[in-house]
Amino acid sequence: MDERRLSLVDLLDRLLAGGVVIVGEVTLGVAEVELVRIDLRALVASVEAL
């Protein structure tokens, strides 16, 4: 069985070649009352991919 090892640099290169979307949400509240809500959506890609 041919086992290939993928380095972190190779993995990042492959991900950035196609683009990666990062999505997140942070909610701060007190006593079940939302005070601050932050939504994050970011596209990370190489210049050539765009």
At residue 50, what is the residue type? L
- pLDDT tens column, 3-48: 577 788 888 888 778 888 889 999 999 998 889 999 999 888 877 7
Q: What is the CA radius of gyration of the chain?
A: 18
pLDDT for 49 beyond 80:
no
CA 37, CA 7: separation in Å to the nearest integer? 36
Q: Please state whether the predicted TM-score (pTM) of the whole model is above 0.75.
A: no
